[in-house]
Structure formats: structure tokens, C-alpha cells
Amino acid sequence: MSQNILVLDEGTTSTRAMLFTPEGACIGTSQRELTQHYPQSGWVEHCPHEIWERTRDCAAEMIARAGGPERIAAIGITNQRETVVAWDKASGEPLTRAIVWQDRRTEPFCMALREAGHEAEVQARTGLLLDPYFSGTKMRWMLDNVPEVRAAAERGTLAFGTVESWLTFKLSGGAHITDASNASRTLLMDLAAPGFDAGLCDLIGVPMNALPQVTDMAGALAATESALFGRAIPITGLVGDQQAATIGQACLAPGETKATYGTGAFVLANRGSAIPRSTNRLLGTVLTQLGGERIYAIEGSVFVAGSLVQWLRDSLGIVEVASQTEELARSIPDSGGVVIVPALSGLGAPHWRAEARGVIAGLSFSSGKAQLARAALEAMAHQTYDLARAFAADGAEWQTLRIDGGMSANNWMAQDLADVLGVPVERPAFVETTALGAAMLAATGAGLYPALGSAAAAMRGQAMRFEPAMADAVRDERLARWQHALRAA
Ligand code: ADP
């Protein structure tokens, strides 16, 4: 019996291995922290060795827990997207530290490309904006600034990849592939084309022969070297983390939408097989590629969600633990007119105002901890409402919203989201939707299910539903106050 699915979930602050049954039950987790390197303001780096070794160790632990490698049917990998690793194909060794998705060092290059008038074409072709967030300009930076990377490019042995690509290379002992969801975050792939694009690679300045081959997200993609875990285990699912969460929430039909509330908030709506064209500064991205067929999503993210609650806890000392915001919010009938605009690190979609800063409006002598905590939670619904309007303007109106992430545990916030958005909000009992989505893909790729839809139907658990119940007048007044405060941010 080799029926378990091993998921490797490589996040920003830690890497994990999780063991799933084919029915979607998580029966084991092993986790290791990842060291964050901040060599300069705005720079964030990871050590590729550490990513590999800690992920491998977590995997080995879960394989032992399962009872040996013959009990693992398949491996699925999901990862922090956009982070770039450079390594030498011949030696298999990294050439420099990984540049992490949050890193802003390529802003001058992005600005030069924007000023040269390239953004409209890049957006039309890739669905992305010319922002340091995406992988391509990070690759270019390494070529220009790391002599070892340049030398490997000249030798023809340079390999670039996002983290699922790096891990697959190390696990398999040499496969250089990337899945379409990760590839769609590089600025180097046209959403309409199966592989990387020569014109885009030229524009960004990345040699195509250093890039991995773009593959489906499920299937016989690679296999582990047998010496590594004692058996060649098939790698049958590869997927970027937000796409994985969208799949884990079973948003497989056009219009179905999920929102993940962690440090920040990420919203993705399934748009079916038509390439999304946002006119509201949302991103277009690949949600799935199976059998060469793509389904697309539009995506919007807000920078500050749970981190606002963390700020209330660590900088203001209003709560001792994040979950106390719930009882504080419930202890009063309203926020007493207090509105928080959580632009502590600028405003993301749909505003895209990097220079904006936070605002607390409407303070009076009756404002206290409870009002601030409530206003912080209310800000999540307000920010999400602005995204909902942008999605609707792009033709993707939400019928329900499926939520997950650490902050979604807050029942008061979940109800407030339903109230302000005016749509039902659903929260699954098992909120590790990113890992679950990777497990669904890997199970499909291993042939345990005939299609992703049947994997999702079998593996997705029960969800709790929050129905909208707020009077229109209350909602309108709140949104008016939010709009007013937003102008001051
Ligand atoms: P990430 O994956 O981005 O590290 P998580 O999904 O683990 O984040 O979510 C953690 C965030 O959610 C923290 O910023 C924390 O402040 C917030 N959070 C966790 N539980 C609650 C809660 N019950 N109420 C409000 N915020 C919460």
C-alpha cells in the first residue's frame, strides 16, 4: 500500500512536510524555520542550501512516520512564489543567496522599464505589472551583480528557478522544470503561450537557456533519486502557494473565489479558460495547467491584514494574543466612529499607493482598546470590499467568498466580512488549504483520482458558513467613513 501523499510546503518563514491520506486527512507535519537575511533596507534573502536541507529533513521525517518510502504514492510541492534561486547545473550548487519575493532592490530597473513605456505591453502579455515583486528582474539583478552567476551564464551552466524548481532539481538529481503557475509570476511568460517568451526574456535581460522547462501542474513531472529516500518517489504536483490555496478551496469553476488572511491578504478568483485582462490593476495569473490546458485567475492582494493585529499586540500592547481582538470587538456595539486604514507599508490592490501611510481616524475620549481592536478587524472587511469592487469591475463578481489563513479563525471577522461584502463567507474546518491544494494536485497526478475536480470533491472537508445580516444603512455609513479615511492615508 503506497497511498499517502507527501506535501512539501516551502513558505517564507518556514518549510514543512505534511502527510495526507488520499481522502485529504492530514496525518503528520514536520516543520523547520528558515533564516531570513536582510543585508540592506528593502533586501530579503534566503540560503538555498538551507531551504533544500531543511525541506529534505522534514520530508525524511514524514516518510519515516508513514512507514517508509513505499508508503508514499506521490510528492506534491508548493512554494512561496516569485523567490529566485540561481545554481550551477553541472555542480548542482547554488551560486548566490535566493532573492525573496518581498525584496525591493530591482525597483530602479522596474522604474526604468516603466518610464520607457513597457508596462502596457508587459501587462497585456503576462498579466503582471512592472514591479520588483516578480521573479524576472531579480534574475537580471543576479546576472548584473553576482560574478559567479554571470560566469555560469557564460559557461552555459546557469540555472534559474523559483523554489519548487530548485527543490525538484535537488530531489530528482537534475530535472530543471517549473510549473505553469510559478512560471506565470516571472514576467517572462506570455499567458497565452506554453513556455517562456524570447521577447520578454530579451526585454528583462534573462538568457532563455538558463530557464527551466514549463510543465503541467500535475502528472509524472519528475521522481526523487532513489538513493535519497530509498525509493524513486514520483513528484506529481507542483504549484505556487496562492494557486494551491485556491485549488485547496475547490475554486475550480469560473467565479469561485478565495481569500487568504495571513500576514497580508491574497484574493484569487477563477476566470475559466479566457485570459484575464484587468482594467483595475488586478493581476492575471495561471491557476491550473493540466494536460496542457490552462485555467486562469485574477488576483488582488492587500499588504496588511494579520500584521495589523500583530502591531496592536506588539507595538501598542492592546492585546496579548491575536485572538483577543474577537472578544474586544464583540464587547461593544460599534467602533464608536474609529476607522483604521492599515497602510503601514503602503496600499496594495486596487489602490497601489506605495507611499500611503496608515491612519487612525475618528478618535474621541470614549475610544479605547475595544474600539481600536474592532476598527482593526473592520478594516479587513473594508479592504476586501474595495477588492470586491475591483473584481466586479473586471467582470468577476463574487457570489460567495471562501476564506482561510491564520486570521480567518476569527469568527467575528468572518461574520463582518459576510455583512460588509453582502455575500456568504465559507471557512473550511481544515484551513491549511495551501498544502491541501498541493495534495489534490499530486493525488490527481499520481492517478489516484481521474481529475482535479474529483480529487477536490473527495478531499475537501466540511465548511462553516457565515450569512450576511447587516442593515444596508449601517454598511453604507461604515463604507462612507472608510472612504473618507482612505483619502487621508
Ligand atoms: P502567514 O502564513 O502569513 O505567516 P498566518 O496564516 O499564520 O500568516 O496568520 C497569522 C496572522 O494572523 C498573524 O498576523 C496574526 O496576527 C493573525 N491572527 C491569527 N489568529 C488571529 C485571530 N484569531 N484574530 C485576528 N488575527 C489573528
**Residues 6 or more apart whose Cβ sits within 8 Å of residue 230:** 68, 69
Confidence of residue 114 (pLDDT cuts 50, 70, 90): very high
For residue 25, the one-letter residue type is A
pLDDT at 102: 84
Is 12's pLDDT higher than 80?
Answer: yes
The CA distance from 465 to 403, in Å, is: 10
Q: How far apart are the first and last CA of the chain?
A: 58
Biggest CA-to-CA distance, the chain: 69
pTM: 0.92
Q: Give the dihedral sign, CA 393/394/400/405.
A: negative
Nearest CA to ligand 1 atom 7: 406
Ligand 1 pocket test, candidate residues 10, 29, 263, 266, most atoms within 8 A of CB: 263
Please state, in angstroms and rounded to a whole number, the distance separating the CA atoms of residues 297 and 291. Answer: 18
Domains and CATH numbers, the chain: 4-242 (3.30.420.40)
Kindly give the distance from the C-alpha atom of residue 306 to the centroid of ligand 1, in angstroms, as a whole number. Answer: 5
CB-CB contact of 239 with 441 (8 Å):
yes
Which pLDDT tens digit goes with each residue over 129-169?
998 889 999 999 999 999 999 999 999 999 999 999 999 99
The pLDDT mean for the chain works out to 95
Residue nearest to atom 26 of ligand 1 (CA): 407
Q: What is the pLDDT of residue 355?
A: 77
Return the pLDDT at 294: 97
pLDDT at 237 over 70: yes
In contact, 137 and 109? CB cutoff 8 Å: yes
Three-state DSSP state, 58 = helix
pLDDT band at 421 (very low <50, low <70, confident <90, very high): very high
Distance 407 CA to ligand 1 centre (A): 4
CA of 59 to the centre of ligand 1 (A): 25
Preceding omega of 350 cis (within 30 degrees of 0): yes
Q: Is the pLDDT of residue 75 over 90?
A: yes
Contact partners, residue 234, CB within 8 Å, separation at least 6: 73, 74, 75, 220, 221, 222, 223, 445, 446
pLDDT of residue 361: 96
**Would you state the cell numbers that stand for residue 434, as one nine-digit string?**
495551501
Q: Using one digit for the tens of pLDDT, what is the confidence trace for 144-155?
A: 999 999 999 999
CB 342 within 8 A of CB 353: no
Nearest-CA residue for ligand 1 atom 24 is 323
For residues 255 and 252, give the distance between their C-alpha atoms in angstroms, rounded to a whole number.
9
Residue 147: the pLDDT is 98
- Please give the single-letter amino acid code of residue 114: R
Tallying the residues shown for the chain, one arrives at 489
Q: How far is the CA of 400 from the centre of ligand 1 (A)?
A: 22
Q: Can you say how many angstroms the Cα of residue 238 is from the centroid of all Cα atoms in its chain?
A: 13
For cell 501523499, the residue is: 5
Encode pLDDT of 359-387 as tens digits. 999 999 999 999 999 999 999 999 999 99
pLDDT at 287: 98
> Ligand 1 mean position to 263 CA, how many Å?
6
Place of cell 514576467: 187
Question: What pLDDT shows up at residue 2?
Answer: 61
**Residue 1 predicted with pLDDT over 60:** no
Strand partners, 380: none
| pLDDT band of 344, cuts 50, 70, 90 | confident
Determine the Cα angle at 139 with ends 135 and 145, to 5°.
140
Tell me: the pLDDT tens digits for 207-219? 999 999 999 999 9
Phi/psi at 129 (nearest 5 deg)? -110, 160
pLDDT in tens, 180-209: 999 999 999 999 999 999 999 999 999 999
The whole-angstrom separation of Cα 339 and Cα 420 is 15
* The ligand 1 atom nearest the CA atom of 264: 3
| 40 confidence band (pLDDT: 50, 70, 90) | confident
Burial class (CB in 10 A: 0-12, 13-18, 19+), 154: exposed
Q: Which residues have any ligand 1 atom within 6 Å of their CB?
A: 262-263, 306-307, 309-310, 322-323, 325-326, 405-407, 409-410
Considering only CA atoms, which of 470, 241, 380, 191 is closest in space to residue 388? Answer: 380
β-bridge mates for residue 410, sequence order:
none
Where are any strands of DSSP class E within 362-418? 401-404
Residue 11 CA: nearest ligand 1 atom is 2
